[in-house]
C-alpha cells in the first residue's frame, strides 16, 4: 500500500483553504503522486483562489545550485511568482499583503544542508509576523525517519545550509520539521499539517510506493540522495562531487587523483558491506572541473538503509592524506561566506577526524550522544510512529 501524500487530502481539509486567498510555496517537486498535475494546477483547477506563488532555491523550474532566481509570473496562470532565493530569503511583508493563508508543498530529503527547510522556517516566521495561518502538505522523507546521524549544528556556525541544532540526517518529514522549528525557535505560527497516510518512520523510499520525485537537479535518483548524505561535504573542497556527471554525489574525483591508488586506500578504510565502489573517470559538464577529465571513485548503495556519511568521511580522509598539497577549500555555490567544511558538517569534529585529532570510533560516539539528545528533544513533534 503506497503512502498517501498531503496534497491528495486537500478535499478532507477543504476548510483550511476554500474561499481564502492562497499563497503557495512550491517548486517542480510539488506534484500529484501520478505526476498528472502539479500542486499549482491542483489548487487552481480545484477552484481554490491561488493568488501568489513563492519558490525556494532552484526556482520553479530547476535552476542550478546556488544560482540566484528572479521573480516572474507563472507563464500559464499569470500569477506572480516570488523568488525566495534571490534578493530575499523570506517573504517580505508586502509579499504577504492580500493573502489569507500560506501553503507549503515541496519534496525534501531529510538532510540539514538542503536549503528548502530554511525557506520553510523563514516563511513560517514571516507568516507568524503577518498573522497568517500556515499549512504544510506533508511529504515523506525518502531517507526514512529512523537513521539520525552526524553532528548537530553548532548554533554559532548557523547559515542557510545549517541551523537550529539539526543533525546532518535528521529523519523528519516536512510537516514534522515545521513543528520542530516552532518548538526550537519559539515562532508562534498557526500551523496545520495535512498529514500522510500509510506512512511510518521505518519506511525508506523503496517502501513508500511512490515514483521518484526529483527534489533538485543534482539528486536524480534515490541512490544519489543516499550518497548526498555525507557526500555534500565535498562541496567544501576542490574535489568534484559528480555534479555534471551521470551520477551526481555517487562519483568523486579530480584531475590530480590516481584512481588506482585511491581505490586501494578506500578499500582499506571502508568496511561497509552495504556499499559497493569502483574506479571511475568522468568529465563534468558543469560545476568543478567542467570539461576536464577527472579520476576517482563511483559508489553505489546496495541497501536502502545505507548510511553513507562514514564512507564519505573515509573517502575524504584518503584523498586529503594522499594529496595534502593539492586539496584546497572551495566556496560553495552561491558564494556566501561561512560555507566551509565546518559549516556543512556542523562543527569541528569532521576536521579533527581528517587531521587525526579524533578517531573514527570517537567521532561515532560523539554523533551517537547527539543523536540521543535530538531524538529526546524531537519526540513530541513527531507525527508518525
**pLDDT digits 0-9 by tens, 22-43:** 999 999 999 999 999 999 999 9
**Helical spans, DSSP H, in the chain:** 39-45, 93-96, 116-130, 174-185, 222-231, 259-269, 309-322, 341-345, 349-354, 360-378
Looking at residue 330, what is its pLDDT? Answer: 79
Mind listing the pLDDT tens digit for each residue in 258-289?
Answer: 999 999 999 999 989 999 999 999 999 998 99
Which residues neighbour 18 within 8 Å (Cβ) at sequence distance 6 or greater?
47, 48
Please enumerate in sequence order all residues whose Cβ is within 8 A of that of 124, keeping only pairs 6 or more positions apart, or say none.
134, 178, 181, 182, 187, 189, 191
pLDDT digits (tens, 9 = 90+) for 134-176: 999 999 999 999 999 999 999 999 999 999 999 999 999 999 9
The pLDDT value given to residue 338: 45
Average pLDDT value over all residues in the chain: 95
| DSSP 8-state secondary structure symbol assigned to residue 54 | E
C-alpha cell at 193: 499539517
DSSP code string of 242-257: STTSSSTTTEEEETT-
Burial of 355 from C-beta contacts in 10 A (0-12 / 13-18 / 19+): exposed
Q: Give the pLDDT of residue 68.
A: 82
**Domains identified in the chain and CATH numbers:** 6-216+376-381 (3.40.50.12170), 222-347 (3.90.1150.140)
1-18 residue pLDDT tens? 999 999 999 999 999 999
Q: Which residue stretches of the chain have pLDDT < 70? A: 63, 331-339
Q: Beta strand 134-137 with 251-254: parallel, antiparallel or unpaired?
A: unpaired
3-class DSSP assignment, residue 34: coil
Residue 249: name the closest of 280, 218, 274, 215 by CA: 218
* Most distant pair of Cα atoms in the chain: their distance: 64
- Joined together, the cell numbers standing for residue 124 give 513560517
**Entry pTM:** 0.95
Amino acid at each position: 500500500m503506497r503512502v498517501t501524500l498531503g496534497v491528495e487530502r486537500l478535499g478532507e481539509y477543504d476548510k483550511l483553504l476554500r474561499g481564502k486567498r492562497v499563497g503557495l510555496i512550491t517548486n517542480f517537486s510539488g506534484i500529484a503522486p501520478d505526476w498528472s498535475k502539479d500542486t499549482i494546477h491542483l489548487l487552481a483547477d480545484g477552484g481554490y483562489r491561488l493568488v501568489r506563488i513563492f519558490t525556494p532555491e532552484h526556482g520553479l523550474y530547476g535552476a542550478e545550485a546556488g544560482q540566484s532566481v528572479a521573480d516572474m509570473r507563472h507563464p500559464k496562470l499569470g500569477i506572480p511568482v516570488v523568488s525566495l532565493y534571490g534578493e530575499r530569503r523570506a517573504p517580505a511583508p508586502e509579499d504577504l499583503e492580500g493573502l489569507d493563508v500560506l501553503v507549503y508543498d515541496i519534496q525534501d530529503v531529510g538532510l540539514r544542508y538542503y536549503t528548502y527547510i530554511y525557506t520553510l522556517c523563514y516563511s513560517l516566521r514571516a507568516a507568524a509576523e503577518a498573522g497568517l495561518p500556515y499549512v504544510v502538505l506533508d511529504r515523506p522523507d525518502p531517507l526514512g525517519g529512523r537513521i539520525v546521524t552526524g553532528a548537530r549544528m553548532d548554533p554559532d556556525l548557523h547559515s542557510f545550509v545549517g541551523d537550529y541544532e539539526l543533525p546532518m540526517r535528521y529523519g523528519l518529514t516536512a510537516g514534522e520539521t515545521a513543528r520542530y522549528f516552532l518548538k526550537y525557535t519559539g515562532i508562534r505560527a498557526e500551523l496545520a499539517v495535512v498529514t500522510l497516510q500509510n506512512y511510518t518512520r521505518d519506511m525508506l523510499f523503496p517502501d513508500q510506493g511512490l515514483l521518484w520525485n526529483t527534489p533538485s537537479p543534482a539528486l536524480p535518483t534515490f541512490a544519489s540522495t543516499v550518497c548526498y548524505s555525507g557526500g555534500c561535504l565535498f562541496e567544501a573542497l576542490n574535489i568534484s562531487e559528480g555534479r555534471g556527471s551521470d551520477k551526481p554525489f555517487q562519483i568523486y574525483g579530480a584531475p590530480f587523483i590516481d584512481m588506482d591508488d585511491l581505490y586501494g586506500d578506500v578499500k582499506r578504510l571502508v568496511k561497509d558491506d552495504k556499499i559497493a565502489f569502483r574506479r571511475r573517470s568522468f568529465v563534468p559538464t558543469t560545476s568543478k572541473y567542467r570539461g576536464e577529465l577527472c579520476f576517482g571513485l563511483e559508489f553505489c548503495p546496495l541497501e536502502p538503509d545505507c548510511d553513507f556519511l562514514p564512507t564519505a568521511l573515509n573517502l575524504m580522509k584518503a584523498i586529503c592524506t594522499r594529496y595534502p598539497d593539492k586539496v584546497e577549500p572551495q566556496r560553495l555555490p552561491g558564494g556566501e561566506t561561512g560555507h566551509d567544511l565546518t559549516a556543512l558538517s556542523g562543527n569541528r569534529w569532521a576536521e579533527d577526524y581528517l587531521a587525526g585529532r579524533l578517531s573514527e570510533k570517537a567521532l561515532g560516539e560523539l554523533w551517537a550522544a547527539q543523536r540521543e539528545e535530538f531524538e529526546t528533544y524531537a519526540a513530541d513533534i513527531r507525527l508518525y510512529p
